[in-house]
Structure 1
Amino acid sequence: MGPGRARRARSHYGNRVVSAVLSRMAVHQGPRNLRAVLGHAKAPRRRARPVRGPAQPAPFPTSQARRLLKAAHATCIRGLEDPRTHPSARTALQRRLARVQEQLQLPWREKRRFEEVVLRTPHEHVMFATLVIESVGLKPQCWWPDLAAHGGEDGGRDAGHGDEDQGEVPALQVGVEEYALRSYLAHEGFAGGSCSENSIFCTLFGLLFFDELFAPSVLGVFETPYQLESLDLGSECFYRSRQAQIERKLAQIESGDFISIMERVDRAEREEKTLISGIKWGLTWDDLALVAKDYYHNAAGMPDLC
């Protein structure tokens, strides 16, 4: 047997012996003590559970981060103090300013707050109804229980829910918006609501500012005779190009002479239902002036119920 083969034999024999010894130690002492004896791995230590206390304040920003936050703080203030800043941008700047001031951990006396920009917290009205399972092709509906006392069967979609022989009040299947309107009528006596989102405001704007929408004095805004609106309606140029006309119309509306304006346009266009951007010919009339200065901004984001 050569020296190489002898070393391999001893190594094999030694490994078998060590394995047997380790197996016996593992039976008597357990794996944790075995790892500690061999030194292959340290015995794991039990970590102490962290004690949950009050929430720790945010770490103080570093010098570089604080310098950038101060620059953002100054930029927000300049934008809010600039009268040319768009109303929607002012709201976003106020929210950003509040976040930056919290990150800078400024004391209360040094914080800036532009109250005319901050949106008021709306009042919440919670209503409870029985939701009807959604059917194929239909939106989820609700059961209105006071059918006989409020409104009759004309305003709903499907009557007949409830067994009169068992003393149950007939109910009406209505949509969520209609349910809210009926609830306001029943509990607060308010009957002036309408489920139209922003259609009323857009229609009123189209009727009141029909002459300004299709003013021939503004060049380059109508390329074809089939346009529903002028090309500059969604930009600030709409008001600037017609500022004198719009201000005269606003003064006329403020004086109370706005019914005649809408009646004139309604008589001329309702019969043929001329396609005009925003106008829904089945809606009622009312006053609107701010839409003329920024059509898309003031016509967006309206609630379902007005």
Structure 2
Amino acid sequence: MIEDIWETWINQGVKIVAFDLDNTLIFENQLIDDHLIDGLRDLKSKGLRLFIVTGRTIQSLKERNLPKYFLDLFEETIFCNDGNVIYNWHSDQVRVLNGLDINQFKQYWNQNHTLVNMVIESNGRFYSNSKKVKIINKYQTYFFFNDQLEFVDLNNFQPENISKIYLFPKVNTTMEELEKLEEIEFEKSEMYFYDDFIKIIPLDTSKAKGFKTFLRTLGFSLSDVIAFGNGSNDVSLLLESKVGVAVKNSEQVLIECADLYLQEQLAFFLKKKSQKEEL
């Protein structure tokens, strides 16, 4: 018997669909597919609620300048920073679920300001002590764009809700010296080391953790969700959702944990018919 795969999932209790953004819904230097728009509209017509859960920061999301007709297909709440920052694109309101300790930031800056330049993300905006801070293009999509920085005196700066910190070595400081500063750790945080900077984020940041925290306020859980993604930062969400779908050309780590791996573009799958016994 041929039936709509989505009707099957709805009958099993699915009410929400969560989508990663880059390389799942949209692609660099490509227009949004008309078939994708049709598929998303079809899901909404079935009564499903659609959410975007992305690794992008709010500033990076705004920089992408997504068209209103696309955003209108989704709930107004968008989950950025891998689920840790909730952004309402209608009201421009920001909520940070888990922030870094402000007192530890102050202590770290006071002890190391001669060695590092710092970029802070606070309530979706980026602040830095230096105009010399630059980040290479390949990292800008998920971190920050150089022209988005606001320059402040960090000695007198009182940030709220710090969601991310970047450390860059000053001219006379090497990355090796900067990495040794790891001894002065932020509690409840994770450090990631790149070629020319260090990124610090709150401990246990994940798309699953952030999204399910929000869903509880609506009376839902991840057992009500189908999740789509393509990368390693989607693993937690796909594993904990009722159904986890890795889109075509996903990273191998995600394919291995997904319930379903698409062999076709997402746009065509969204309206696909399937046999019930294949689920």
TM-score surpassing 0.5? no
TM-score, normalised with respect to structure 2: 0.22
> Which structure features the higher share of strand residues?
2
> Which structure features the higher share of helix residues?
1
TM-score, normalised with respect to structure 1: 0.20
